[in-house]
């Protein structure tokens, strides 16, 4: 029987996979900065696979942990943030999409920090299905953009990247709306105290 309560365990397979994803981010940065597109695609693909595997391992092995509930979204956001900023800088992804990802992540972090500082409130970090879908779509957009860059930007790949970018943007905006709706009472309380 699986436990629904995350454990205090630190050393688990899902946490190791998440730690690997975090460790791959600087490797990805070096690959992109040096123009090693094939290596960047390989590293990014490996990091994205760890994102799929850590959640599955946590459920299948009953290894949900408190540490993992914090580290996983941090690793997800760090990977997406890094990939979008670097690839927009390199001209591989649209700048507007990178700006949207950065703005969303900055707003979420600012909201949580404000809650902790002003209210000593420690919200649970549980991504919704919509939020998980947005993150998945973001990873797909990055992967397609890297493939398009490797293939010297054929029209079909650019069209696919651009279409997926619009889809990712819609999911990002919708997931932010869902998040605001979910936390509306807390937001109203913060606004009244300002």
pLDDT tens figures, 147-167: 999 888 899 999 999 999 999
Report the CATH number that the domain containing residue 18 is assigned in CATH. 1.20.120.1760
pTM of the model: 0.86
Is 123 within a domain? yes
Is 69 within a domain? yes
Range of the domain at 18: 13-193
Is 4 within a domain? no
Is 55 within a domain? yes
Is 63 within a domain? yes
Is 8 within a domain? no
pLDDT tens figures, 72-129: 888 988 999 999 999 999 999 999 999 999 999 888 888 777 777 766 666 655 678 8
Closest CA to 9 of 87, 73, 61: 61
| Domain count along the chain | 1
Summary mean pLDDT of the chain: 87
Q: What is the pLDDT of residue 10?
A: 84
Contacts of 187 (CB under 8 A, 6+ apart): 111, 180
Contacts of 164 (CB under 8 A, 6+ apart): 137, 140, 141, 144
Q: Report the distance separating Cα 92 and Cα 8, nearest Å.
A: 41
């Amino acid at each position: 029987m699986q436990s629904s309560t995350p454990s205090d365990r630190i050393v688990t397979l899902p946490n190791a996979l998440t730690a690997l994803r975090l460790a791959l981010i600087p490797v990805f940065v070096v690959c992109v900065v040096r123009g090693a597109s094939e290596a960047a695609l390989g590293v990014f693909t490996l990091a994205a696979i760890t994102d799929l595997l850590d959640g599955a391992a946590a459920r299948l092995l009953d290894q949900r942990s408190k540490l993992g509930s914090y580290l996983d979204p941090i690793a997800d956001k760090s990977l997406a943030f890094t990939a979008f900023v670097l690839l927009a800088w390199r001209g591989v992804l649209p700048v507007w999409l990178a700006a949207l990802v950065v703005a969303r992540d900055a707003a979420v972090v600012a909201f949580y920090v404000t809650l902790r500082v002003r209210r000593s409130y420690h919200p649970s970090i549980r991504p919704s299905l919509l939020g998980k879908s947005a993150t998945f779509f973001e990873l797909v957009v990055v992967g397609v953009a890297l493939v398009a860059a490797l293939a010297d930007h054929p029209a079909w790949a650019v069209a696919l990247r651009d279409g997926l970018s619009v889809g990712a943007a819609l999911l990002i905006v919708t997931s932010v709306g869902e998040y605001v709706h979910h936390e509306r009472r807390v937001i109203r309380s913060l606004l009244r105290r300002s």
